[in-house]
Structure 1
Amino acid sequence: MKATVAVFGFLRFPAENIKALLPHLQVFVKATQEHDGCILYEVGTDPFDKGLIRFSELWPNRESLDKHLVAAHIEPWRVQAKKYGLIEREFNSYEISSVAMRV
């Protein structure tokens, strides 16, 4: 399946809350990967900024991304993110207009 939308973003939490937050993030990511039609949905903690979680996403189209944003597992994740002290959230989506080049 060809990706036409890429999303990159991050969430920032108090560093001391990351360990307790990760099981909730794992449930959310697994649900997204299994049910939302994404091509790629990856997250990772930043090794140099202990409170930062980075997201990389590829979607087949804007409609799939829009459906993801209102999926049933979004709200429980947002509740947990708030509970564990979400400080900052930034996500940007991009339309992919060329073929990826592997290096």
Structure 2
Amino acid sequence: MSDQPPPDQNEPRSHFVTRIQTLERQVGENVLAALEAEGSVAVLTTVVSGIRADRVVSVPLDSEQAKDVTAVLAEAQIDPDEPDGDEPLIGFHVVLKNDESDDE
């Protein structure tokens, strides 16, 4: 048995409230927060699947990074790679070419 008296039923109990937001609002707020980073001119955002919960991840880009992403996307649109085999693609990835030789 506990030495503490039972709680008064009339006392307010502490509680926590979190609003469940729509995906659009959650992503929008995440993007706006990333845009507030110093030097940010653009944002890359993705949803990352997790075991316990999915997460929205946004990365702020400075002007140089935004130019690099734009160049990669423009090149991919001009010369799209054909998928290998009949397997469906999930998402996309970008391979950045390194100007340095592999011998170094």
TM-score normalized with structure 2 length:
0.26
Query: Relative CO higher for 1 or 2, CA cutoff 8 Å, sep ≥ 6?
Result: 1
Higher normalized strand content (fraction of residues): 1
Whichever of the two has the greater Rg, that structure is 2
